Amino acid sequence: MAAPMRGMSVLRQAFQGLVRPAGGQVCRQVQHRCYSTPGHVQVDMNSETGVATVRLNRPPVNSLNLDVLTELSIALEKLETDKSCKAMVLASAAPGIFSAGLDILEMYQSTPERCVAFWRALQDAWLNLYGSRLITMAAIEGHSPAGGCLLAMSCDYRVMAEGKFQIGLNETKLGIVAPFWFTDVMLNTIGHRETEKALQLGALYSAQQALSIGLVDKVVPLAEVMPTVEGELKNWLQIPAAARVITKTSMRKAVLDRLRSQKEKDAQFFADFINRDSVQKSLGMYIASLQKKKN
Ligand SMILES: CCCCC/C=C\CCC/C=C/CC(=O)SCCNC(=O)CCNC(=O)[C@H](O)C(C)(C)COP(=O)(O)OP(=O)(O)OC[C@H]1O[C@@H](n2cnc3c(N)ncnc32)[C@H](O)[C@@H]1OP(=O)(O)O
């Protein structure tokens, strides 16, 4: 039997038929299909319910590097074209963390070419997620700063674990600036006034604070995050899909088109901005502060 997964009782896993096959990877019998397990993005498709669970799996903190973003993009594309798939839950396989956001090492002392490739991968992953026809829900079972917050905000619904975890767009604290499409998504989520404060301060919120400004939709104990997402999904799955998709698309189109129309310019701008001496200096100091935390 596979080791119990976080937030899921042993009984529940036994009921769902979790087994560990000869290859050593966790798979489910009968109604579940694992699309990919060897990489940094695990996809578990339940063909009976039409719900896919996509877990980021890059310990210790699921920082999003070029590989993770490319894998995430491909996984989302596959689910989008899978007619049996109706909904997607974005979660983490790493305890205590949803995602630490972009891998800072992709932005520090990197080449302009790598920066552009990295940024394109982020753009594509985000366009696939924010523009998805699927019902998308974020199961936030840990910290979710910066790019992690962007992924969560890009879903249709967010359930976060109560306790010490934090979520927010903290870019200014690193001496960098949230790109316009991060800002657009936050504006659409919590409104203008809260976004202005949140972005200028680089604010990281507790789950309760995030709930109070509408950054997340529900806060529950850690073990209840997945069951709560599953319960909420039942409501969403009852809505006629075509009507829901048209509504979602019309509300998100302007923001998606804004990036689509200037992808290359945005990637080039990122590479130029991030390689400025002053920005590199700030990033270097931030990396040192993360490392100092341990000593
Ligand atoms: C005018 C228009 C301008 C246009 C703009 C252009 C570009 C700029 C915009 C770019 C956008 C960026 C968005 C981002 O996502 S930036 C990333 C921001 N992320 C963070 O600030 C999170 C930093 N991490 C933490 O705060 C903590 O790690 C934690 C997530 C709270 C988890 O804490 P804990 O469990 O205690 O783990 P550790 O801190 O010990 O970390 C373990 C290990 O992981 C390394 N690490 C952490 N986060 C990252 C990361 N994001 N990238 C790379 N590496 C990370 C950390 O240094 C530890 O490493 P070692 O074990 O080797 O010490």
For 35-61, how does the pLDDT look when each residue is reduced to its tens digit (9 = 90+)?
Answer: 554 699 999 999 999 999 999 999 999
Taking the mean position of all CA atoms in its chain, how far away is CA 105? 19
Inter-residue contact 190 to 183 (CB < 8 Å):
no
Is 32 exposed, middle or buried (CB count within 10 Å of its CB: 0-12, 13-18, 19+)? buried
Q: How many domains does the chain have?
A: 1
Rounded to the nearest 10°, the torsion over CA 293, 204, 187, 73 is: 50
Q: Whose CA is nearest to atom 37 of ligand 1?
A: 61
How many C-beta atoms lie closer than 10 Å to residue 113's C-beta? 9
Instruction: Specify if 4 maps to a domain.
Output: no
**Is residue 147 flagged as an active site residue?**
yes
Q: What is the mean pLDDT of residues 81-88?
A: 97
Instruction: Specify if 9 maps to a domain.
Output: no
33, β-bridge pairs: 45
HSE value, Cβ hemisphere, 13 Å, CA-based, for 215: 29
**Is residue 46 flagged as an active site residue?**
no
**Is residue 102 flagged as an active site residue?**
yes
**Is residue 295 flagged as an active site residue?**
no
CA of 66 to the centre of ligand 1 (A): 15
Average pLDDT in the chain: 90
Inter-residue contact 186 to 213 (CB < 8 Å):
no
Q: Which one of 56, 104, 123 would you pick to mutate in the ligand 1 pocket, going by the greatest count of ligand atoms within 8 A of its CB?
A: 104
Residues sharing a CB contact under 8 Å with residue 19, sequence separation 6 or more, in sequence order: 1, 2, 26, 27, 28, 29
How many C-beta atoms lie closer than 10 Å to residue 242's C-beta? 9
Tokens representing 224 are 């209840």
Q: Which one of 61, 170, 180 would you pick to mutate in the ligand 1 pocket, going by the greatest count of ligand atoms within 8 A of its CB?
A: 61
Tokens representing 288 are 């040192």
pLDDT band at 11 (very low <50, low <70, confident <90, very high): very low
Instruction: Specify if 22 maps to a domain.
Output: no
Instruction: Specify if 11 maps to a domain.
Output: no
Instruction: Specify if 276 maps to a domain.
Output: yes
Instruction: Specify if 67 maps to a domain.
Output: yes
Distance from C-alpha of 122 to C-alpha of 66, rounded to nearest angstrom: 8
- What is the tens place of the pLDDT at every residue in 157-207? 999 999 999 999 999 999 999 999 999 999 999 999 999 999 999 999 999
- Classified as helix, coil or strand, 245 is helix
Tokens representing 20 are 């560990």
Give me the CATH number covering residue 97.
Answer: 3.90.226.10
Q: What is the mean pLDDT of residues 233-241?
A: 98
Instruction: Specify if 12 maps to a domain.
Output: no
Atom of ligand 1 nearest to the CA of 290: 57
Residue 34 has pLDDT above 90, yes or no: no
Pocket of ligand 1 (CB under 6 A): 60-61, 63, 96-97, 100-105, 143, 145-147, 170-171, 174, 176-177, 179, 269-270, 273-274, 290-291, 293-294
Lowest mean per-residue pLDDT among 35-49, 131-145, 190-204, 269-283: 35-49
- What is the tens place of the pLDDT at every residue in 107-130? 999 999 999 999 999 999 999 999
What are the Cα distances from residue 127, in Å, to 4, 24, 31, 244, 260?
Answer: 33, 33, 29, 18, 8
Atom of ligand 1 nearest to the CA of 101: 15
pLDDT (0 to 100) of residue 171: 97
Distance from C-alpha of 72 to C-alpha of 50, rounded to nearest angstrom: 19
Q: What is the mean pLDDT of residues 221-237?
A: 98
Instruction: Specify if 62 maps to a domain.
Output: yes
Its domain, for residue 150, covers: 31-223+241-292
Q: What is the mean pLDDT of residues 255-284?
A: 97
